[in-house]
Amino acid sequence: MENNNGSDKRMNDSVYSQKFRAGKRRTYFFDVRSTRGNDYFITLTESTKRTDGNGFDKHKLFLYKEDFNEFLSLLNQTIDHVKTELMPDYDYDEFAKRRAEAQKAWEEQKLNGGENTAPVHYSTVSKIADAPEEDNHEDVDKW
């Protein structure tokens, strides 16, 4: 039997990670993690800032390789149903356009000598935030 006194963190190693800020209070994390047996699984984490300002609530989904295809198929079908049947007239590119505008504003400020700046959230296109980019899931929403 293997003694796991905290030194063997292989099961929690993230080998790939993506972050998506979705609003002022919500962030999604897409992480590929490895197991001791050199296998991989995905964790999808939603982190929301608590309304009382004291930390974050996190909801995590574990997705294993044997479920990838069916999960992706059903997710795509569900999204397509909303887009084509329930809300066909909605502009689904609206938020991507806002993000692009915010990124452009941030790059322009950076070129004009702005220091300690980081990309801003698409909802704050008119303001450039001095916010560090955080990789730590615990602190990412604090800026």
pLDDT digits (tens, 9 = 90+) for 40-91: 999 999 999 998 989 999 999 999 999 999 999 999 999 999 999 999 999 9
Q: Where are the beta strands (DSSP E) in the chain?
A: 14-21, 26-34, 40-49, 56-64
Assign 3-state DSSP to the chain and report helix, strand, coil percentages, each to 5. Answer: 35, 25, 40
pLDDT of 124 higher than 90:
no
pTM: predicted TM-score of the whole model, two decimal places: 0.62
Higher-confidence residue of 141 and 36: namely 36
Residue 124: which of 21, 55, 39, 17 has the closest Cα? Answer: 21
Q: Which pLDDT score, from 0 to 100, does residue 98 have?
A: 85
CATH number belonging to domain 12-66+91-142 = 3.10.450.700
The helices-and-strands tally (H runs, E runs) of the chain is: 2, 4
